[in-house]
Amino acid sequence: MYAFFIDTAENLGERLWRLSFASLPRNRRKSPSVASTGHINVSDVELPQEVRSILDKGPKFAIQPCCKPSKLLSFVHDVARRVPEDVKNACIVEGIKCVNKHPLRRPRGENVKNVVKFLKDQNLTLQLSDKTGRFVVMAVDRHLVKAREAVEKNFSIVDLDGASLQNVHKKAVSLCKRLGLQKLEKDLKGCNGTTLRPFFTTKTHKQDNPFRMIVEDKVFGYVVRLANSTVRPSAEAVGLAFEAPGVGS
């Protein structure tokens, strides 16, 4: 009996603490607000509620497609394959009855055409935020200025002395053909257009919302292949630097 009281006394504090702790109100952690929701309007135009509600859904919003009746019937047969043979026909019959009795309704879509019409009528353009991926509404004039600034920041203007890009492209193809560079000639002929095709995202986290310019992957991959044949890998360059006399000693 003495040992029982000793054991009870030693564990009493822990038990009371557990009971008290369980009854204490808990502070629920507030889930952080999702940064990708909502839109950013940097224009002077007030957007209607209909336009705002659609833009708030973000660029990744999509409506679940309606399942076709043929697909539903295939589901019925998939289920029937997993039941015993003696009830397979009954399963198919009941499944077909269910499909006919409860057809799936086509989901209601969003009226995107009205949004596009409003943006065109108000001379507004739609961009993506660089960090959050939200829609950014901007005036067309401001968009053109920002786009030009981004291009001039990343590229240098070259004077072609009146020559057209089409003629330069033809001369480059002829030069490759004359030199027997068949692979390069084929790549040049397969190029769609004669210039890079950039698109832009808006840096809404920076002052004055500058643009980030991104070049199409197809063209960029072609440039990378050409650069890899002439630029030495960094690991190899570092190794040669340490092997040079007086380096690393």
The residue with greater pLDDT, 5 or 19, is: 19
At residue 16 the predicted structure's pLDDT band, cuts being 50, 70 and 90, is confident
Q: In a 3-state reduction of DSSP, which class is residue 26?
A: coil
What is the C-alpha separation between 154 and 161, in angstroms, rounded?
22
CB 58 within 8 A of CB 135: yes
Contact 107, 63 (CB under 8 A): yes
Q: Which of 2-11, 53-62, 120-129 has the lowest mean pLDDT?
A: 2-11
Nearest CA to 135 out of 207, 191, 52, 239 is that of 52
Query: Pick the residue with more confidence: 215 or 118?
Result: 118
pLDDT at 8 over 70: no
User: What are the pLDDT digits (tens) for 65-87?
Assistant: 777 888 888 888 888 888 898 88
**Each residue of 177-203: pLDDT tens digit?**
888 888 888 877 777 666 777 888 889
> With 90 as the cut, is the pLDDT of residue 7 above it?
no
Mean predicted confidence (pLDDT) in 123-137 = 89
pLDDT (mean) for 110-126:
89
Q: Is the pLDDT of residue 102 over 90?
A: no
Percent of the chain residues past pLDDT 70, beyond the cut: 73
Mean pLDDT for the stretch of residues 103-125:
83
- Which pLDDT band holds residue 120 (cuts at 50, 70, 90)? very high
pLDDT tens column, 136-173: 999 999 999 999 998 888 887 777 777 777 888 888 88
User: Is 204 in contact with 195 (CB distance < 8 Å)?
Assistant: no
C-alpha span between 158 and 168 (Å, rounded) = 13
Burial of 42-79, coded b for 16+ CB within 10 Å and e otherwise, reads ebeeebeeebeebbeebeeeeeeeeeeeeebeeebeee
- Pick from 119, 104, 107, 105: nearest CA to 54: 119
What is the predicted pLDDT for the residue at 141?
92
Q: Where are the alpha helices (DSSP H) in 81-229?
A: 88-101, 112-121, 140-154, 165-179, 182-189, 217-228
For the chain, give the mean pLDDT: 77
| Phi (first) and psi of residue 41, to 5 degrees | -110, 110
Torsion sign (Cα): 175, 180, 181, 187: positive
Query: What Rg, from alpha-carbon coordinates, does the chain have?
Result: 33
pLDDT above 90 coverage of the chain, percent: 8
Question: Residue 32: what pLDDT?
Answer: 41
Q: Residues 29-49: what's their mean pLDDT?
A: 71
Kindly compute the dihedral angle of the four CA atoms of residues 230, 233, 238, 239, in this order, to the nearest 10 degrees: -100
Beta bridge partners, 227, equal none
